[in-house]
Amino acid sequence: MRSRVTLAFLLAMLLPVFGLLGAACTARPQLTGTWISEAPASMHFQFRADGTVWLVTGQASRQIWHYEVNGADLRLYDGIGRKRDVRFAIKQDTLTFYDPATGAVVERYERGGS
């Protein structure tokens, strides 16, 4: 009887830990949200958790890409299936895209409202 209680206690303590570890391994970087491109364009792009990117202008928005994240690699697909690969990094409220071949900065964005 004591071993069953001990086993149940251990499982109750360890299951939440394993759940958190699993969530941490599969979680996307904090890419979701609104990102504003550098001036003069200052376009608002909304990365959604469902893997879509929307261009938001005033009250209107339209989907412009699908995206996939693999570590620091981001793959963007436009509406006709063309793809664009970039590396990305998020530091504080700045999202930077890098050319995967050269490491040169391609674009920068600042985190916007929701």
CATH code at position 57:
2.40.128.490
Residue 8 falls inside a structural domain:
no
Q: Percentage of the chain surpassing pLDDT 90?
A: 64
* Residue range(s) defining the domain that contains residue 53: 29-111
Residue 24 falls inside a structural domain:
no
Does the pLDDT of residue 13 top 90, yes or no? no
Q: Mean pLDDT across the stretch 41-64?
A: 94
Does the pLDDT of residue 7 top 80, yes or no? no
Report the domain count for the chain.
1
Q: What is the pTM of this model?
A: 0.71
Q: Mean pLDDT across the stretch 8-24?
A: 40
Does the pLDDT of residue 19 top 70, yes or no? no
Contacts of 45 (CB under 8 A, 6+ apart): 34, 35, 36, 37, 53, 54, 55, 56, 64, 109
Give residue 40's pLDDT: 86
User: Could you give the maximum distance between any two Cα atoms of the chain, in Å?
Assistant: 71
Cα–Cα distances in angstroms (integers) from residue 47 to residues 14, 19, 20, 44, 112, in the given order: 34, 25, 24, 10, 11
Residue 22 falls inside a structural domain:
no
Q: φ, ψ for residue 21 (rounded to 5)?
A: -65, -45
Residue 98 falls inside a structural domain:
yes
